[in-house]
Structure 1
Amino acid sequence: MEAVEVKPQVLANRRGVAFDISRQSSAAECVISIATLEVHFWLEPGASEARIVKCFRDGYARIRAMAERKLLAHPAPHIELTPDDFARR
């Protein structure tokens, strides 16, 4: 994966954080749900937008790795990360 400046955006409905990833000549818009951040990244319920972005940035390496795996397994222009993606099996 190429290094790209991450500019996460909390969705207007506050249900997730949007960010982009790219791989060689393909790119995908990704969304990680707030529920996922709460369950797997220690985000407290009802957190402020600033806290959501901080939590996202703190967990970005894991989040990016999962998004990249999903993009490789199922190439698509949109990737959604849910709590199930991070559940240990």
Structure 2
Amino acid sequence: MDDTLTAEPGVSSDGRLVAFAASFRNQSVQCSISRDALERHFWLPAGANEARTLKAFADGHQRITAAVERRMLKKTGAPIVLSAADFADR
């Protein structure tokens, strides 16, 4: 897999998303993953602070990268917002 996360992730001002950029097959795309997805599938405790949220994101890096790749294969160039549904039954 030649997909890489290309920017430091950051938590949105409302705390509901972690935003990041990814590069796949010479295309860059803005991405985000919902806090709900991190809580349901990456062991983020409810009410966790920003540092813990970013740690859960980092710990789930491989699965998140794989989900971004799947989405980019379907439609390249469009911003990607990953939700809990992207990780169900995987």
- Please give the residue correspondences for 1:6-85 in structure 2 after superposition, counting only pairs within 5 Å: 6-85=7-86
**1:45 is paired with a residue of what secondary structure?**
coil
Structure 1 moving runs of 4+ over 6 Å: none
**What one-letter code is carried by the residue in structure 2 that aligns with 1:12?**
S
User: Could you tell me how far 1:4 is from its partner in structure 2?
Assistant: 5.0
Q: TM-score, normalised by structure 2?
A: 0.90
Distance 1:18 1:88, change over 3 A: same
Aligned length: 89
Runs (5+) with no aligned partner, structure 2: none
Runs (5+) with no aligned partner, structure 1: none
- In angstroms, what is the RMSD of aligned CA positions? 1.6
- Tell me the distance in 2 between the aligned counterparts of 1:17 and 1:79: 12
8 Å contact from structure 2 (residues 6, 22) kept in 1: no
**What one-letter code is carried by the residue in structure 1 that aligns with 2:18?**
V
- Tell me the distance in 2 between the aligned counterparts of 1:44 and 1:2: 28
Percent identical: 42
Distance 1:4 1:76, change over 3 A: closer
Q: TM-score, normalised by structure 1?
A: 0.90
